[in-house]
Structure 1
Amino acid sequence: MSTDFKLTISPPLKPAEIPSEDTIIATGKQLLDSTTTWKEGKTYHKAVKTLSRSKGPGDGAPWHCRVSEHKPDEATFDQLWDKLGKDKPINEKQFIPDIDKVTKVKEISPTAQIWTLHYKFPPPVSPRVFTVLQVARLEEAPKTGIIVSIPIDLSSPEDADLAKLEESGVKGRYVSVERIVELENGSTEWRMATSSTPGGSIPNFLVESTMAGKIAEDVPHFMKWLHGLQK
């Protein structure tokens, strides 16, 4: 297994530099395991806890984490994994208001794809484009699903055909690891850690000050969308 791979936004990987799926998943697990020692932050929406870690060596930006636990009548493991473990960006477009277009750039394997996501914001903020590799893995005993998203750079001449599928906009970058795990009490824990930059001229301190609340919003947005599908 490669030992020099690190989850970071800086620098983004070129497609030719993508390591094995085993390496990506193992590195993601290590990061999520470390979140239990991160600094505790606010709790949002009564149930979404947040944590953070300062920017360290090799990090392109600080890290933020959210953790929520869901009883079966709110969302089962299978329901969460069904919507997050496959074609995740297509579903994210349905419950994250800022995403207005997603495109699958390349299918690397049944569990790894490159996607580009276009975010539209109220003026004066320009649209942002995030291109990522997403790797998903489902494990048993206990039921655990992991999704790792890594920023991808399509600027090399050999990737010109892939780059044509990117939307126009300021290029941002994010790296994230999500884990859905079925707990012994029948509930499901949803944990996500991310590090990101929107690119452009938005001050970093402004981005960092709002990050915890922003990532926490995704949980109620998702639950509202999921329950709407069941009606």
Structure 2
Amino acid sequence: MYQLSIDPVKPADFPAEETILALGRQVLESTESWKVGKVFSKGTVQTLSRAKGPGDGAPWHCRISEHTKEDATFDEFWSKIGVNKAENEKEFISAIKKATLVKRISETQSIWTMYYTFPPPVSPRVFTVLQTIHFHELAPRTGLVVSIPVDLSGPGDEDLAKLEEKGTKGRYVSVERLLELDDGTVEWRMATSSTPGGSIPTFITEGSMPGQISADVPHFLKWFHTIRNQGTA
């Protein structure tokens, strides 16, 4: 039985869309009981974690932040996270140098590959994922994006694999949710499990995860406010 993990999935074996979304919701619900970690970004981003369990390839990490409309409204958040997510991430996550659409499966599912570069001696990394997107219009409005790692090395996927950059294959699974609260505030919650691949020691990557995922929040807001002020958001 499929579960969300860093184990990559071949396109022929993709689970049903509803299965992916249901598992994503389960992960987010389970974060309520995860171990509370450090707070980042001047007290605005709370981190949580869960040790590696049965079927997990790596531990899980979560970040939670709440945002007033001065930061961004629900619609503004969703327009950047629920639409062209990978391309937008390239704009505010400096390590992502390239985001390529490998295959659009439907309006709500697509395969993306991202090319990351890091300071030496770390070599470039390639992460390829299936993104499944769901928008719930009834109150409380909710946007969900579940990304699972994809393996394009199998027979029949050669043309798709050609779109991947050359680099060490990393893998991540993530569940990201935007939730519109009663007062219009937006809760942004993201849970992820990952491995960078290669020979980087686990204790180094795991130790830096809370800070890394938390940094995405101020980076997003800085980028979004720049384009909002320019009138191009």
TM-score, structure 1 length as denominator?
Answer: 0.97
Q: Name 2:37's counterpart in structure 1.
A: 41
What's the counterpart of residue 17 of structure 1?
13
SS at match of 2:157: helix
Equivalent runs, 1:118-197 vs 2, <5 Å: 118-140=115-137, 141-197=139-195
Confirm or deny that 1:82 pairs with 2:79: yes
Corresponding residue pairs, total? 227
The 5 Å alignment of 1:185-224 reads: 185-224=183-222
Superposed displacement of residue 48, structure 1: 0.2
* Aligned-pair CA distance for 1:56: 0.1
Q: How far, CA to CA, are the matches of 1:148 and 1:186 in structure 2? A: 24
Report the secondary structure of 2:208's partner residue. helix
Q: SS of the counterpart of 1:210?
A: helix
In the TM superposition, structure 1's runs of 4+ consecutive aligned residues that sit over 4 Å from their partners are none
Give the unaligned 5+ runs of structure 2: none
Equivalent-residue separation in structure 2 for 1:202 and 1:13 (angstroms): 23
> Counterparts of 1:49 and 1:98 in 2: how far apart (Å)?
23
Where 1:133 maps in the other structure, the secondary structure is: strand
Aligned partner (choices 89, 93, 96) of residue 92 of structure 1: 89
Match of 2:58 in 1: 61
What's the counterpart of residue 228 of structure 2? 230
Give 3-state SS (helix, strand or coil) of 2:66's partner: strand
Q: What does residue 4 of structure 2 align with?
A: 7
CA drift at 1:171: 0.2
Residues 112-123 of structure 1: pairs in structure 2 closer than 5 A: 112-123=109-120
The CA deviation at 1:199 is 0.2
Deviation per CA, 1:80-103: give whole Å up to 9, x if none: 100000110000000000000010
The CA deviation at 1:104 is 0.3
The residue that corresponds to 2:28 in the other structure is 32
